[in-house]
Amino acid sequence: MAASVKQIIVAVTGASGAAYARRLLQLLTAEEAGAHVHLIVSPLGRQLVADELGIRRLTPASLVGAAARITMYGYRDVGAVLASGSFLTDGMIICPCSSNTLGAVAAGLGDNLITRAAHVTLKEGRRLVLVPREMPVSAIDLRNMLRLSRAGAIICPASPGFYMNPQSIDDLVDFVAGRVLDLVNIPHNLQTRWAAPPEARLRARGASGL
């Protein structure tokens, strides 16, 4: 594998939002991204994919049709290479991230490969992005998010913006996926960044009195 290929861990857990996970995998394995994905899916994540995407037999090909760019790992295989900091990666994304997984990572638990890989990512000073979708958010989840943020993780809720004038569900999914890719420095061609025309910026500045 070429040294320039980015190695990204993606974990899928049982929170609603399987469409976000599939779109991330599609974009990460696209030619312009040039990444190799190390995929872990929890048991409830498998159920989520079956319920929301209709995929009963979960494989890289059934998800994105790009099996050559995805390596799957067993959820309980804490002896896999992802459990070691000596295996170099460029970051980890948990999408969607359930409250259960959020709490387990925040508490320092490592009894499965998802939480173990997350702790390895943090201890090695690599980028860890968690994408919770649950709302409203309890005080317990807020404390867990704060604890993880202080430990170096990035909390990126699946909250699509509307300033790009989305026309479909796919547009909303792409907004979240694009923001997550930006956080792990993966290139993409999605229209997810604010770039108002010059005259609009001048009008906004005048209205604000700046």
pLDDT in tens, 1-23: 444 799 999 999 999 999 999 99
Q: Is the pLDDT of residue 126 over 90?
A: yes
Q: What is the pLDDT of residues 33-76, one digit of tens each?
A: 889 999 999 999 999 999 999 999 999 999 998 666 899 999 99
Strands (E), 51-161: 70-73, 92-97, 128-132, 154-155
Q: Where are the alpha helices (DSSP H) in 95-160?
A: 99-106, 113-123, 139-151
The correct CATH number of 6-208 out of 3.40.50.300, 1.10.580.10, 3.90.190.20, 3.40.50.1950 is: 3.40.50.1950
Q: How far apart are CA 117 and CA 148, in angstroms?
A: 14
Note the pLDDT of residue 2. Answer: 45
- The pTM of this model reads 0.90
Q: Can you give the pLDDT at residue 201?
A: 46
Q: What is the pLDDT of residue 59?
A: 92
| pLDDT the model gives residue 32 | 83
Average pLDDT over residues 200-205: 51
Is 173 in contact with 191 (CB distance < 8 Å)? no
At residue 47, φ and ψ (nearest 5 deg) are -65, -40
Number of residues that this document lists for the chain: 210
Q: Which two tokens stand for residue 36?
A: 């190799």
